[in-house]
Structure 1
Amino acid sequence: MEFLNKLLYVPISELPFYLVTLLIAFTVHEFSHAYFAYRFGDPTAKMLGRVTLNPTVHFDFFGIVLLLIAGFGWARPVPVNRDNFDKPRLMGIIVSVAGPLSNLLLAVLGSVIYAALLQFGAVSPFMVEDKLQQAIHIFFSTFIVMNFFLCLFNLIPLPPLDGYRIVEDLVPRRMLGILHRFEQWSILVFLIILVVPTFRLYTIVPLYGAANALAEHFLIFFRVLFGA
């Protein structure tokens, strides 16, 4: 048990809550990409069975393991063929932003539910010694923060993240060649940010901090709203 605690980025006692959170967050994220791509006329994801909320078709085992061990990971990306869209650039942006937006909505929904439970006395922060109460607190804290984090993280404008795909569709066409020329180096920069501790300290760590701050502010806002 001690070995696992040292190996995992996530405390082993909280592992089930992270797994459930990722099960929901990654599934909804990838489904959102697939759904909008299909609605805009691209059948690629549909033919591959990706327009579904079945988590087994979206999960990447290695990506999940790495997330639990190193603090970053991924699901199976949804293939999108923008040539099938009537308005490739506009619809491409919507398809790309659908994933991070879905995580934002999940975080807000989690905040609403958690704030309601706290404000109306269904759970209490003063009863954390109760196993059920403790589980509820850990789950919602994990769910809200992780979804805020995934929203922010996926908007980083580096490949293979959604933020990069959004930039691709926003920049003038004459700049696409330049963008694609530096894509391989951008991927290297992305990997360095994730792997090198010094770079993580100024990138990933602040993102987690921002996610925690958003979680706290949204929770306060909804508790005040319900108490009004």
Structure 2
Amino acid sequence: MVNNMVQYINELLYVIPAVLIVLTIHEFGHAYVAYKMGDVTAKEEGRLSLNPLKHIDPIGLLALIIFRFGWGKPVPVDFTALRNLRKGMIFVSLAGPLSNIIIAFLLAPLFNWMSVNPIVLTGFGYFVELVRYIIVLSIYLAIFNLIPIPPLDGSKIIFALTKNPLRFLYDDTLNYYGIIFLVLVISIPFFRFNYFFMKTVSPMLNLISKIHF
């Protein structure tokens, strides 16, 4: 019991900073693309920033520490302010996951070099492990958010392709039922969510492991 607690606390030393970095990059990606496409909402609310404090949801961070599953503060986007609604919805929604994937691939050669360098492992072991967490969590977050279930980014991409995207975009009941469904598929073994999710994540992690300087 004590050993498990110590192991869990040690893991949090990597998980918390990694999650803060990954979520910040994700939300900044949304904010930046929305701003470039005509919506200044995120900028006016101070969310066009790489400061993690701007993107922390206190309850989400607490849930991460307790349940190992948390969330950040979603970037506010006024889709009606975008110069092209459909294209804007797709680009802004993809920006977060793509930002995470780009960071993961950029860090991959650095991690792969550090992880086999005994001098780096000896002197900068914590940093090497932290980079590994950032890469893995970046891929997890990107793939998870592309699931086409409200309120995840993937659902907004699907909405953008419908005849009346705004009808779905501002229907809060969809987010409510979507969250319930997500909880069910994650928690009930019958859905085998983890199995199918890992089938998507694993090939990308394998590809990253082969990227070198």
Question: Which TM-score applies when normalising by structure 1?
Answer: 0.79
The offset of 1:153, in angstroms, is 0.5
After superposition, residues 51-90 of structure 1 pair within 5 angstroms as 51-90=48-87
C-alpha contact 1:145 1:212 (8 A) present in aligned 2: no
Q: Partner residue of 1:22?
A: 19
Q: 1:205, CA displacement in angstroms?
A: 5.3
Whole-angstrom CA distance in 2 between matches of 1:95 and 1:181: 19
With structure 2 as the length reference, what TM-score do the two structures score? 0.84
Q: Does 1:203 align with 2:200?
A: no
1:185 to 172, 177, 191: 177
- The alpha-carbon deviation at position 35 of structure 1 amounts to 1.2
Structure 1 position 218 matched with structure 2 position 208:
yes
Task: Map Cα deviations across residues 71-125 of structure 1 (whole Å, 9 max, x no partner).
Answer: 322100111111111211101110111000011111111212112334666546x
CA RMSD of the aligned region, Å? Answer: 3.0
Residue 203 of structure 1 and its aligned partner are, at CA, apart by 1.6
Secondary structure in 2 aligned to 1:59? coil
Distance 1:45 1:181 in 2: 20
* Structure 2: gaps spanning 5 or more residues: none
For residue 130 of structure 2, the aligned residue among 139, 144, 153 is: 139
2:158 to 154, 157, 167: 167
Identical aligned residues as a percent: 32
Q: Counterpart of 1:127?
A: none
Instruction: Report the residue type matching 1:98 in the other structure.
Output: A
* 1:173 alignment partner AA: N
Structure 1 unmatched ranges of 5 or more: 125-129
Provide closer, same or farther for how the CA distance between residues 181 and 51 of structure 1 changes in structure 2, counting only shifts above 3 A. closer
Secondary structure at the counterpart of residue 11 of structure 1: helix
CA, structure 1 residues 108+83, in 2 after alignment: closer, same or farther (shift >3 Å)? Answer: same
CA contact (8 A) 1:58 1:75 kept: yes
The verdict on how the C-alpha distance between 1:137 and 1:213 changes in structure 2, with shifts beyond 3 A counting, is farther
**Paired residue secondary structure (1:49):** coil
In 2, Cα distance between the equivalents of 1:154 and 1:147?
A: 11
Q: Which residues in structure 2 correspond to 1:115-154 (within 5 Å)?
A: 115-118=112-115, 123=120, 130=122, 132=123, 134-154=125-145
1:172-195 CA distances to partner (integer Å, 9 max, x unpaired)?
328956x9597243332123224x
> Partners of 1:58 and 1:181 in 2: how far apart?
22
Which of 37, 40, 43 in structure 2 is aligned with 1:40? 37
SS class of match (2:209)? helix
8 A Cα contact 1:111 1:215, kept in partner = no
